[in-house]
Structure 1
Amino acid sequence: MVDVAKWVDSTVRRRTANASGDDDARRAQVVQAAVDAIEEGGVGVGMGQIAERVGIPRPNVYRHFASKEQLDAEVARFAATELIRRVRPSFARSGTPVEVVRGLIAPCVAWAAEHPHLFRFLAAQQQTKALHRARLGRTRLLSEIVEAARAYLSETPLSADPPEGVLVGVMGMVDASIIWWFDHHDESQEQLVDRLTRQVSAVLVGTLAQYGLVVPDDMVFRSAADT
């Protein structure tokens, strides 16, 4: 079971400073129940199931979340935060393009394998207009990837910022490949990481070439945070 109480305490409490401690605790319980229900049963979890897990009438859930959409947004924030936490240590890893990319892909796939329903939920939520407007979860991950890419490129002749559109496309490819793997298991987890590493590396190296930076296979990228 994923423990969200501490996370809710540090994020939701700041937005509900005037709420009582009991309200904060109950809100944390609702988010915990939603996460657990998704982890166990998949993305099609209803408010009734969540309320039953908390042990309250379904209408009482709406005292803490105005809508299912708002609760979904909170669960997505949590899931994205957990995914970022898993991947973040690799943002300062030095190595060849393939080594750097693999360092990001492997923990992402590992987290998804541990939390397949939560990963599906997060990927699906990125498509909703509400979450897109709110610029949640995956956008924060994208921002961190852009910053990491900028740090790697700071030691190269390339002065332009990394193209976010390309990174968004790469992230979409990774999401789609992981979900396909969930559904078909036509390769091992290690094979999936290897394939995604090759594909993502090819896209990123090709993009750098368009900017005039030819990247040999043995070129070592060093993050500014690793120097």
Structure 2
Amino acid sequence: MVDVAKWVDSTVARRLRKAGDDQGRRALLVEAATRAIDEGGPRVGVGQIAERAGIPRPHVYRYVESKSQLDLEVARKASADLLEEVRPHLSRAGTSYDVVHGIAEAIVRWAAEHPNLYRFVAAQKQTRSLHQARMGRSLFLDALMVAMADYLRPTQIVPKAPDGVLAGLIGMVDAGIIWWLDHQDETQDEVVDRLSRQVTLVLQDMMTQLGYDVPDDMVFDPEA
């Protein structure tokens, strides 16, 4: 006969093990989940993910504490992948519109290539607590703020954008891209141009509210 108490103890112990006991298996699981969501959408089941990772389904929770934790890890990985596409545009010289246009172009292109992942990351931001939501996007936000500081250094401006402005920008970009993914009522170039104009206007307005006038033709150069 099965020792129920012993079985319960061992099950609880497995579920309480800290994520990261086996980093290789955990990374494999997150990679498998990311690919599964990319191909099949966010409703893909844990069983399918475990099978893709070559891990028995009962062992999944040895490497992540819950399905929510796995979702968060996928959002982090997807955000890091997107950042790699955006990163070259964070160090280019140009007007504020030029810089924003390069970033928007990279984001829209990545979203077109990975529509399920883009929707998934946007949904994490919208449905979790603010702290959890921003964890998956903070790499991009941090890089963007560092780039802004580099661009604005010649004018001795130290930007500190209110969280509400940044959240609004992300929400606007997410909503615009997801609408385009769903309806395809603009060309890819048209949606990039529209989002670039909108984001540039918001950033210029933010700088005006902070007491700085940034001319449209001012060229930011991080190498200067």
Which interval holds the TM-score relative to the shorter structure?
Answer: 0.7 to 0.9
Identity %: 54
Q: Specify whether residues 130 and 52 from structure 1 end up closer, same or farther in structure 2 by C-alpha distance, changes over 3 A only.
A: farther
- The corresponding residue for 2:66 is 67
1:5-154 to 2 correspondence within 5 Å? 16=20, 19=21, 23-129=22-128, 132-133=131-132, 135-154=134-153
Runs of 5+ in structure 2 lacking a partner?
A: 1-18
The answer to whether the 8 Å contact 1:95/1:220 transfers is: yes
> Which structure has the larger Rg?
2
Alignment-mate amino acid for residue 67 of structure 1: S
Matched position secondary structure for 2:196: helix
1:177-196 to 2 correspondence within 5 Å? 177-196=176-195
The answer to whether the 8 Å contact 1:157/1:213 transfers is: no
CA RMSD of aligned residues (A): 2.0
How many residues align? The count is 206
Give the whole-Å Cα distance in 1 for the aligned partners of 2:66 and 2:112.
29
Question: 1:176-205: CA deviations, max 9, x gaps?
Answer: 111111100000111110000111111111
TM-score, L = length of structure 1: 0.82
Alignment-mate amino acid for residue 187 of structure 2: S
The answer to whether the 8 Å contact 2:91/2:147 transfers is: yes
Q: Specify whether residues 115 and 160 from structure 1 end up closer, same or farther in structure 2 by C-alpha distance, changes over 3 A only.
A: closer
Q: Specify whether residues 118 and 134 from structure 1 end up closer, same or farther in structure 2 by C-alpha distance, changes over 3 A only.
A: closer
Give the whole-Å Cα distance in 1 for the aligned partners of 2:31 and 2:172.
29
Which runs of 4 or more aligned residues in structure 1 lie more than 4 Å from their structure 2 counterparts after TM superposition? Answer: none
Question: 1:80-138: CA deviations, max 9, x gaps?
Answer: 11111111111121111211111211111111111111111111112343672485221
Give the whole-Å Cα distance in 1 for the aligned partners of 2:95 and 2:159.
20
The answer to whether the 8 Å contact 2:93/2:221 transfers is: yes
Matched position secondary structure for 1:154: helix
Give the whole-Å Cα distance in 1 for the aligned partners of 2:210 and 2:28.
49
- Give the CA deviation at 1:38: 0.5
